[in-house]
Chain A
Amino acid sequence: MPQVEVLAKGLVDKIGLKGALIKHERNDGKQLKVEGEILDHKSGIEYLLGILIDPEYGCLTNLNEIDAVGHRVVHGAEDFSGSVAITTEVIKALEKSSDLAPLHNPPNLKGIYAMQQLLPDVPQAGVFDTAFHQTMPEFSYLYGIPYSLYEKYKIRRYGFHGTSHKYVSARACGILGEDISTKKIVTCHLGNGASMAAIKYGKSMDTSMGMTPIEGVMMGTRCGDLDVGALFHIINKEDITVKIANTLVNKFSGVLGVSGISSDMRDVELAAEKGHHRAAVAYQMYAYRVKKYVGAYAAAMGGVDIIVFTGGIGENDSVTRANVIEGLEFLGVDFDFELNKGLRGKEMILSKPTSRVKVLVVPTNEEMMIAKDTYTIVTGGVVN
C-alpha cells in the first residue's frame, strides 16, 4: 500500500431507531454530530457518503475518488480464512453463515448491499473477525461435545477480534525488528469485550473467544469462561428462559456483575481504591483471568517470546497490565513496572532490554488493517 493516511473517521449509530445519529471527524479535527431519521443501513451509508463530499465537513471532492470499499464482517464461519473480494458467491456464503452470528452478519450484509447500490462500480472487500483464527488446529477449535453437532451445525470455536490480533502481533514484531514466522506471541485484546490469542509463528493457534464472544477471559459485562452446569442451575433456580440467561451472561455479568458498580474499569478502579470490596475483587479477577490465559498459551505453544497488550484497557490501564504480568518472571519476563506506570495509548516496549520475553503495548488499528487488506485485494493480491 503506497501511502496510508486517515482522511476522516466516524460512525452511524442507532439505525432505524429514535435518536439515530452520525458522528464524523475529519483529520484536521473538524467535527460533525448530526441526529435525524436514519431508516435503514442504506440511508445511513448514503448520508455518510454525503458527508464525505460535503464542502464544509467532507474530505473528498466527489464520490469518484473512492476506489474501493472495505467491510468489517464479524463472522466468516469456516468459509473464509482471509479477506476476500465481495462477489455473489461470497454474499451467498455470508447469508448462510448469518445463522452463526444473527446479530452481526445481517447488518454487515445490509452494508454490503447498500454500497452495491450506491457505488455500483466500486469494488468491495470483506475482512472477517474470525478469519485470522481459521488456522487453529482441530484439537484447539473443537468442543468436547458430540462430533455430530459440529457436523450438523458447525458448533466449534471460531474466535473474534482476529483483525486486531493479527495487526498487533505483526506490528509488535515490526517494532522489535523480529521475524513473526519464528516467534511465539500472546496477544491480549483487552477492552469491554476482551480476547486473547496464542500466535505461533504468525498463525493463530488458539484464542479465548469461542463460537460466541462469551467464552474466554472475564469482560466488562460478559462472564467469560463459566461452568455450563452452573448456568443450568441458575436457569432452574431463577426460573428464567434461555433468552434471558443469554442476556444475563452477556450484559449483567463480568466486571459489572461482580462489582455491581460499572462495566467501565476506570469506575471500578476508583471504587476499589476507596475500599469497595466487590470492585476490588472484580478488578483483580479481570487481570487474574488474563494471566491464566497467558500461562495456558505459553504452555500450548511451548513457550512465549512476546506478550502484546491492546484494546481500551490493554492500551490505557497500567495497573491491569502490571497485575497481569506480575509473577510471570518464571516465564522469562522482566517487566519495567516504572515505565509501565501511567502509559496510555502509545506504542511502547515495557519489558527491560535484557528481558527474554518482550512485553509491548500496541494500540490496535482494525480500520487500518481493513484498508490494507482491501487495497491488496482490489489491486489483485491475496490476503491470507
Chain B
Amino acid sequence: MSITLDRFSLTKQTKSVGQIQKAGLIGCGAIGQEIALLISQKGIEVVFIDLNEQLIEAILKSMADQLDQIINRWGMTGSEKKLVLSRIKGSVSYQDLSDCDIIIETINSQKPGANLEERKEVFRKVEAVVKPETVITSNTATMMISDLAVVLDHPERSLGMHFISPVSKINLVEVVSHFYTNDESFQIVNKFAGMIGKKVIKINESPGNISTRMIVTIINEACAILTEGVASVADVDKVMMEVTGNAFGPFEMADRYGVDKIHKWMENLYREFGELKYKPSPIIRRMVRAKMFGMRVGEGFYKWEGNLKTAKTGSIKNLGREKF
C-alpha cells in the first residue's frame, strides 16, 4: 500500500471549515470559461458541469486555446498552462459537485427572459448534492438572486456573484446579498474573491447591479445619438474613450459583450423596472434580428476580424452596410 501524508500528521488534523479548495461551475460558456481559468490559475480546483461530453471536450479545448494565446503574448509558460488545465475537470453529472466549497451558476441561455426557470432548476439540483456549508452563487447580471434562492431549502447560503468580462482584467466582483443571505456565506464569498484576486463590491439586490445597469443605459443613449444622426459609431466611441478614459467606447463594448446579450439585459431590466431608459433601442432590436451580434460573429456595430475592428461605412438604414 502506498504511503499517505496522514501517516506523518502530528495532529491528524482534518480540513478546517471555511477552506476553499474546489469550486463548481454550472455552464461553461464564454464567461464560465474565463471564470474557470481564473480560479484555476489561483491554485483552486474547478469542476464544471455542461450538457454533454462532446461539449465538455470542446470547452476544454477552447480553454487550452485561450491559454495558448496568453503564452504567445508572454503571459504564461507552457508548464503553467499544464498546471492550470490539470485543475479543471468537466462533467455531465451534478454529483461531481459534491465536494465543492463554492458553486457559481454561469449558464447562458439565449432565450430572452426565459432562463429563470432553468436557473432555479440548477439551484435545486446543486443543493441536492453539495455539502451543507457550500455556498451557492449565481453570476446572473440582471435577475434577482432571491428569485433563485426561493427554491433552496437553505436560501441563506445563496448570493449573487457577478463577474464582469474580461474577467482576468476587471479586478472586482459585484456580490449581491438578498434578504435571507447570512453573514457566514458572505464571508466565504468574500474570502474566495480575495483568493482569486478580486475586490468585493457589496451591493443590495437590484437587477443589473451597478455595472450592467450603467452599461446598458450608456449603450442605449449611444444608439439614440446614432439614430438621430448626430455622430457616427466610431466618433461616439472616440469621444467616450477620451472623456471617460475607458479602453472601449459604448459601441465597441456592445460588440465585445455581444449585442444579443446586451439586448437580453435590456429586456430584463425593462421588464423589472418598466423604465424607458432600459427599453432596447430599435437599432439593437434590428441588429439582433439580423444576427449582427458583434465581435464573435464578425459583425455588429463594427466589422470584426478576430480582435481587429473596422468601421462600417453604410447608412444607419442598412445597419451600417452599404447595401442590405
Q: Which residues of A contact B21 (CB under 8 A)?
A: 37, 39
Check B73 against A238 for contact (C-beta < 8 Å): yes
Q: Is the CB of B19 within 8 A of A34?
A: no
* Interface 9-mer from A16-24, A142-150, A204-212, A353-361: A16-24
Which residues of A53-74 are within 8 A (CB) of B?
Answer: 54
Q: How far is the CB of A153 from chain B (nearest CB, A)?
A: 22
Q: Which residue of B is nearest A263, CB measured? A: B77
Is the CB of B8 closer than 8 A to any CB of chain A? yes
Contact B86 A252 (CB under 8 A): no
Q: Are B8 and A16 in contact (CB under 8 A)?
A: no
Taking CB atoms, residues of chain B closer than 8 Å to A51 are 8
Q: Determine if B5 is an interface residue (Cβ-Cβ < 8 Å).
A: yes
Q: How far is the CB of B276 from chain A (nearest CB, A)?
A: 39
Q: Is B74 touching A240 in the complex (CB atoms < 8 A)? A: yes
Inter-chain contact A238/B4, CB cutoff 8 Å:
no
Q: Which residues of B contact A240 (CB under 8 A)?
A: 73-75
CB <8 Å contact, B87 and A18: yes
Residue of chain B at shortest CB distance from A44: B5
B1-50 contacts to A (CB < 8 Å): 3-11, 13, 15-16, 19, 21, 43, 45
A32 to B7, CA, bound (A): 12
Interface residue? B203 (CB, 8 A): no
B76 adjacent to chain A (CB < 8 Å): yes
Complex: A360 Cα to B6 Cα, angstroms: 46
* Contact with B10, one of A22, A34, A118, A247 (Cβ below 8 angstroms): A118
- Cβ of A244 within 8 Å of any chain B Cβ, yes or no, is yes
Is A49 in the interface zone, CB < 8 Å from B?
Answer: yes
Evaluate contact between B4 and A19: CB separation under 8 angstroms.
no
Taken together as a complex, chains A and B put the C-alpha atoms of A22 and B7 apart, in Å, by 13
Task: Please tell me if the beta carbons of B43 and A16 are within 8 angstroms of each other in the complex.
Answer: yes
Question: Are A252 and B11 in contact, CB atoms less than 8 angstroms apart?
Answer: no
Nearest-CB distance from B37 to chain A (Å)? 15
Q: Which A residues, 223 to 268, have Cβ-Cβ distances below 8 Å to chain B? A: 238, 240, 243-245, 247-248, 251-252
Whole-angstrom CA separation of A17 from B41 in the bound complex: 10
**Count of chain B residues with Cβ under 8 Å from any Cβ of A?**
24
**A39-B9 Cα distance, complex, nearest whole Å:** 13
Among residues of B, the one whose C-beta sits closest to the C-beta of A45 is B10
Known: A18-B87, A39-B15. A244 touches B4 (CB 8 A): no
Interface size class of A (residues with CB under 8 A): 20 to 34
CB pair B5 A22 closer than 8 Å? yes
User: In the complex, A16→B77 CA distance in Å?
Assistant: 20
> Provided the pairs A34-B3, A244-B73 are in contact, do residues A50 and B10 lie with their beta carbons within 8 angstroms?
yes
Kindly provide the distance from the CB of A4 to the nearest chain B CB, expressed in whole angstroms. 26
Once the chains are docked, how many angstroms separate the CA of A118 from the CA of B4? 21
Interface residue A201 (Cβ < 8 Å from any Cβ of B): no
Complex Cα–Cα for A35 and B7 (A): 12
- A17 nearest in chain B by CB position: B43
CB-CB under 8 A for A36 and B45, given A18-B87, A49-B10, A240-B73: no
Residues of B contacting A244 in the complex (Cβ-Cβ under 8 angstroms): 73-75
Q: Is the CB of B5 within 8 A of A47?
A: yes
Partner of B77, one of A34, A47, A54, A251: A251
Q: In whole angstroms, what is the CA distance A49 to B9 when docked?
A: 8
In the complex, A32 Cα to B4 Cα: how many Å? Answer: 11
Measured between C-beta atoms, what is the minimum distance from A241 to chain B in Å?
Answer: 8
Cross-chain contact B4 with A34 (CB below 8 angstroms)? yes
- Residue A38 at the B interface, CB < 8 A? yes
Does A46 sit at the interface, judged by CB under 8 A? yes
B16 to chain A, nearest CB (A): 8
Contacts of B75 in A (CB 8 A): 240, 243-244, 247
Could you tell me the distance between the alpha carbons of A251 and B81 in the complex, rounded to whole angstroms? 13
Using CB atoms, name the residue of chain B closest to A118. Answer: B10
Does A43 lie at the interface of the complex (its beta carbon under 8 Å from any beta carbon of B)? yes
Instruction: Give Cα A358 to B96, complex, Å.
Output: 65
Of residues 151 through 173 on chain A, the ones whose CB sits less than 8 Å from some CB of chain B are none
Note all chain A residues with C-beta closer than 8 A to B13: 43, 46
* Complexed CA–CA distance, A110 and B159 (Å): 32
Residues of A within 8 Å of B7, CB to CB, are 50, 54
| Contacts A34-B3, A39-B15, A43-B13 given; does A50 touch B8 at CB 8 Å | yes
In the complex, are the beta carbons of B10 and A32 less than 8 A apart? no
Q: List 27 A-B contacts (CB under 8 A).
A: A17-B43, A17-B87, A18-B83, A18-B86, A19-B83, A34-B3, A34-B4, A34-B5, A34-B8, A35-B5, A37-B21, A39-B15, A46-B10, A47-B5, A48-B8, A50-B7, A50-B8, A50-B9, A50-B10, A54-B7, A54-B8, A238-B74, A240-B73, A244-B73, A245-B74, A247-B75, A247-B76
A positions within 8 Å CB-CB of B: 16-19, 22, 32, 34-39, 43, 46-51, 54, 118, 238, 240, 243-245, 247-248, 251-252
- Besides the known contacts A18-B45, A48-B8, A243-B75, 10 further A-B residue pairs in the complex with CB atoms under 8 A apart: A37-B5, A39-B21, A47-B9, A118-B10, A240-B73, A240-B75, A244-B74, A247-B76, A248-B74, A252-B77
8 closest residue pairs by CB, A with B: A50-B8, A36-B5, A248-B74, A47-B8, A244-B75, A17-B43, A51-B8, A46-B10
